[in-house]
Amino acid sequence: MIYLKLLQNMALIALSAYMYNHSSILKQLIKDELGTADKILLVIFFSTLGILSNYTGVNVEPANNINSETMALGYLGMHDAIANTRPIAAIVSGYIGGPLIGVIVGLISGVHRYALGGFTAVACTIATIVEGLIGGIARKYSKDESLNVKHAFFAAIVAECFQMIIILIFARPLISALILVKIIAVPMILINSLGTVIFISIIKSVKEEYNKVGAIEAQKALNIAKRTVKYMRKGLGEETAKNVSKIIYEVANIDGILIGDKSDILTCSVKNINKIRLRESIYKGDKFPVYKIINEGQMFFVCAPFNIPNSGFQGVLGLGLKSKKDINNYFIQFVQELSDLLSNQIELYKLNKLAEEASIAEFKALRSQIQPHFLFNALNTISSFCRTNPSKARELIIDLSNYFRQTLKREEDFAYLKDELEFTKSYISIEEARFGNRLKLIIDIPDKMMTAKVPAFILQPIVENAIKHGILPKPEGGSVYLKASFKDKEILFSVEDTGVGMSNERLNEILTKWPGIGLKNVNERLKLLYGEDHGLSIKTSLNNGTKISFLISMKEVSSANG
């Protein structure tokens, strides 16, 4: 009978799991990173579940060696105990929120159990706290940080075994404790372990669905970004806004769209709308928030800003839906990601415009770095990871952003070696994602060199050359070795690849005829800064790889530091 009663209580667990995943208030707890408010909500939810489980438990009377068919709805007699599903609340809360959350939930629901009385009141209070702690430890020390049903199952078994041991230690008389454990041990271990698995499985399933939807939205944003590049290169004007809004409207499942610049709406697809009132709603206030929802007429616009580092607010993107109920976290995140990608394109336009107008060599070199083919290739690579590996896609978006942001903030001829390496690593991360195991970068540079200053954009072009002309033509790929060492009063840098190498004729062509910021540009800059004898030293032969070396004078480095 006790099995049947506990199985009936599983309906409460299933209902709670459904509420946890589908309630508009509780759904936010599905995310990986929980804030303070989220943790408080977690404690309230699972403490309530634990208290309800106390009331729905099976009243067991070991003194008479029987289980009562009545539920424990009131206070217990001094010889009574409860078989219930309270441990599920403590274990699951600990597994989701960590040891501290598990202990707090165990303490609250355990104290409530103590108030109900019975000869196991103290033992059950202690056991519930321990069970919450075990749930938290199981997640914390799991090799896989994601929700693991097997780990949760074994944690529940261990926790329930501890509960039986604690009952035998603290509950008196001992004979009653022995009889009680004999009655409830197997049912509670099995049923509560099963309940924990069901709860965690439901949460895991919803989280996976959440990630799938997020991946689809991210891929949709990247698809839009790829198609809008050619228009955004012209700058954010009325014509560009119309072309971009048309593409977004075709790809995204929306009812309306608007795009604006710093002060006015450039285009709005919704007809019969009060654009004056809409403009006032968008541009009111000194600072544009991360996003805002604006209701105008029968349309709800989720608006996100175009923000550029060092330039601030540059415009706004608004995607409209007719029903406010359709605006969820997925949609808001999609709007924000899309506005970020378009912001990067505006940033690139401003950089290219600056490069066209600038007369100094650094900005000419800077401009030639940001080639459309690299952006297209990078976006294609990220898009391919959106469905297969959303976490990797997010990492690559950050690497791409860092790569272009580094090109924007360089205003001096020299940069710290640490920054040069970070810039090069961002580029390599994207290339490694494209070509997988065919490409590997090994960096061997002492930490004490990181504060030295080197010519800006000096390493990445050489590494890029090694990849494009050395590694990629080789079917099995290869490795690139980036090294630096002290040599007298100078720093010796070398970039060596295990690629296909090149003939002397090919080498001469690269050094003399190729445009842009390739080896020719790097070679000329080094000679200009350090003298004719400080150009690139290149050793190469067909099928034997290439090694490029150069020296930077420590004296010049010191003066560069000022």
Residue 248 lies in a domain: yes
Q: How does pLDDT run across 102-161, given as a tens digit for each residue? A: 999 999 999 999 999 889 999 999 999 999 999 999 887 765 556 888 889 999 999 999
Residue 382 lies in a domain: yes
Residue 299 lies in a domain: yes
User: What pLDDT score does 102 carry?
Assistant: 94
- The gap between the terminal CA atoms of the chain, to the nearest Å, is 84
User: What pLDDT score does 69 carry?
Assistant: 46
Q: How does pLDDT run across 52-108, given as a tens digit for each residue? A: 888 888 888 776 654 554 444 556 777 788 888 899 999 999 998 889 999 999 999
Whichever domain contains 14, its CATH number is 1.10.1760.20
CA distance 239 to 347: 18
Residue 415 has pLDDT above 80, yes or no: yes
Residues 309 and 404 occupy one common structural domain? no
Residue-range definition of the domain harbouring residue 540: 371-561
Residue 349 lies in a domain: no
16 CB neighbour count, 10 Å cutoff: 24
Higher-pLDDT residue of 505 and 73 is: 505
Domain boundary among 157, 173, 208: 208
Domain boundary among 169, 193, 208: 208
Q: Degrees (nearest 5) of the Cα angle 294, 296, 300?
A: 50
Please state which of the ranges 114-123, 184-193, 304-313 shows the lowest mean pLDDT: 304-313
Residue 346 has pLDDT above 80, yes or no: yes
Residues 14 and 161 occupy one common structural domain? yes
Residues 15 and 103 occupy one common structural domain? yes
How does residue 360 score in pLDDT terms, banded at 50, 70 and 90? very low
Residue 361 has pLDDT above 60, yes or no: no
Residue 199 has pLDDT above 60, yes or no: yes
Spatial strand order in the sheet of 490-497: 439-444, 478-487, 490-497, 546-553, 537-540
Please state which of the ranges 324-338, 374-388, 487-501 shows the lowest mean pLDDT: 374-388
Q: How does pLDDT run across 205-253, given as a tens digit for each residue? A: 877 777 777 677 777 777 888 888 888 878 888 999 999 999 998 888 8
Q: How does pLDDT run across 527-546, given as a tens digit for each residue? A: 878 887 888 899 988 888 99
Take residue 307 and report the two structure tokens written for it. Answer: 């923000």
Residue 515 lies in a domain: yes
Q: Work out the mean pLDDT of the chain and round it to a whole number.
A: 81
C-alpha distance from residue 59 to each of 30, 147, 196, 332 (Å): 34, 33, 22, 49
Residues 328 and 430 occupy one common structural domain? no
Higher-pLDDT residue of 429 and 403 is: 429
Q: Nearest Cα to 348, choosing from 230, 259, 515, 518?
A: 230
Does this model's pTM top 0.85? no
Residues 164 and 238 occupy one common structural domain? no
By the 8 A CB rule, do 89 and 46 touch?
A: yes
Residues 249 and 322 occupy one common structural domain? yes
User: What pLDDT score does 305 carry?
Assistant: 92
Residues 176 and 279 occupy one common structural domain? no
C-alpha distance from residue 153 to each of 28, 252, 561 (Å): 24, 41, 59
Residue 216 lies in a domain: no
Residues 327 and 388 occupy one common structural domain? no
pLDDT > 70 fraction of the chain, expressed in percent and rounded: 80
Indicate the helix (H) or strand (E) that contains 68. Answer: strand 66-71
Which residues does 326 contact at the CB level (< 8 Å), separation at least 6? none
Take residue 263 and report the two structure tokens written for it. Answer: 């002060």
Residues 187 and 242 occupy one common structural domain? no
Residue 362 lies in a domain: no
Residue 342 has pLDDT above 80, yes or no: yes
Residues 27 and 176 occupy one common structural domain? yes
Q: How many domains is the chain partitioned into structurally?
A: 3
Residues 174 and 306 occupy one common structural domain? no
Residue 36 has pLDDT above 50, yes or no: yes
Residue 328 has pLDDT above 90, yes or no: no
Residues 182 and 252 occupy one common structural domain? no
Q: Nearest Cα to 489, choosing from 457, 530, 455, 537?
A: 530
327 CB neighbour count, 10 Å cutoff: 17
Residue 227 lies in a domain: no
Whichever domain contains 456, its CATH number is 3.30.565.10
Exposed/middle/buried for 274, CB within 10 Å: 0-12, 13-18, 19+? exposed
